[in-house]
Amino acid sequence: MQKTNEQIISELQELYQKLGRTPKRREYTSNYVASKRFGSWNTALKAAGLEVVTKRKDLTKAELIELVVKARKELGRVPLSKPEHFPYYRQAMVKFGTWNKFLIEAGLQPNPNAEIKYTDEYLIEKVQQMEKRLGYVPHTRNNREFPHYNLVLTRFGSWKNFIEAAGLTPRNVGKKGYKYTNEFLIHSVQEQAEELGRPPKTKEFKHYSILKTRFNSWNEFLELAGLETYQEYKKQIEED
C-alpha cells in the first residue's frame, strides 16, 4: 500500500523530533518515494515545515583526515561510517575508496572493538531472531543474510557448529518448492544497501534474476524497498 503525502509529512516530522534536526535523505527509509511524490527531497522537507539543510563544501583528503582524527578524540573511539559519527563519511568513502582505507590513511585502526562487543550469546540471539523473521535458517551459500558470518566462523569453527549451538536445524537449500518471497527480496536489498552504505547496482544483487520476473523494473523494486537509485545516490554525493 502506497504512503499518502500526509503520512510522508508526518513521518518526516516525527523523524525531526527524534533526531532534533532536519533528517538527511538516507535517514528516511522512504526518501525515494518522498522525492518522487513532492518533486525533490528539499520540497518534501519544506512541505513538512522543516528547514532545508545547505550543501556541505567539498573537503580535501587532508581536511577529511584532520576531521576524523578530531572525531576520534571527541567520541573516545574510532568513528563508524554514519552521519552521527562523521558527517562527511560519504565524501571520505568516495575519495578513499572505502571507509576502512580512509581510517588506515588517517592512522586509525578500523573498528578495533568490533569483535569484542559481539559476544557468542549476541551472535546466537541474532541468528535466532533472523530465523524467526525469514522463516528459515540462513545458510552459507547466502552468507550475506547474516552480517557477522566471518566472525561466526572464527568463533565457532564452522557455520554448522554455530547453527547447532543456536539450537537450529539447517534448511535443505535444494529443497524442491523453496521460494524467495517478495518480502525476502526487499529485506535482502535493504540489508545490502545498509552494508554498502548506498543502493546496490543490479549486478551486485544476487537475486536480481528472480526479481526481474516479479517487478517491472529495478527502480520500481528499489522504490518499494524505500531506497533511492544508484544514479540518484551518485548525484546526491556530488551535491554534498
Residue 28 domain-assigned?
yes
Same domain, 200 and 235: yes
Domain count, the chain: 4
**And the C-alpha cell for 92?**
571520505
Helix (H) / strand (E) containing 92: helix 89-96
Same domain, 194 and 210: yes
Residue 86 domain-assigned?
yes
pTM of the full structure = 0.31
Residue 56 domain-assigned?
no
pLDDT at 10: 92
Residue 190 domain-assigned?
yes
Residue 53 domain-assigned?
no
Same domain, 186 and 233: yes
Same domain, 187 and 235: yes
**And the C-alpha cell for 153?**
566462523
Same domain, 186 and 231: yes
130-165 CB burial, b ≥16 within 10 A, e <16 = bbeebebbbbbeeeebbebbebbeebbeebeebbee
Residue 211 domain-assigned?
yes
pLDDT at 115: 46
Helix (H) / strand (E) containing 102: helix 99-105
Helices (H), 135-203: 149-156, 159-165, 182-196
Instruction: Write out residues in the chain with pLDDT < 70, as ranges.
Output: 1-2, 53-57, 111-118, 134-135, 139-145, 147, 150, 170-180, 236-240
Residue 54 domain-assigned?
no
Same domain, 153 and 128: yes
pLDDT at 178: 43
Same domain, 92 and 137: no
Look at residues 165, 200, 228 and tell me which one is the last residue of a structural domain. 165
41 touches 15 (CB < 8 A): no
Residue 143 domain-assigned?
yes
Q: Domain residues for 142?
A: 116-165
Whole-angstrom Cα distance, residue 43 to residue 38? 6
- Report helix angle 89-96 to 61-75, nearest 10: 130
Whole-angstrom Cα distance, residue 72 to residue 76? 6
Look at residues 165, 198, 227 and tell me which one is the last residue of a structural domain. 165
Same domain, 209 and 232: yes
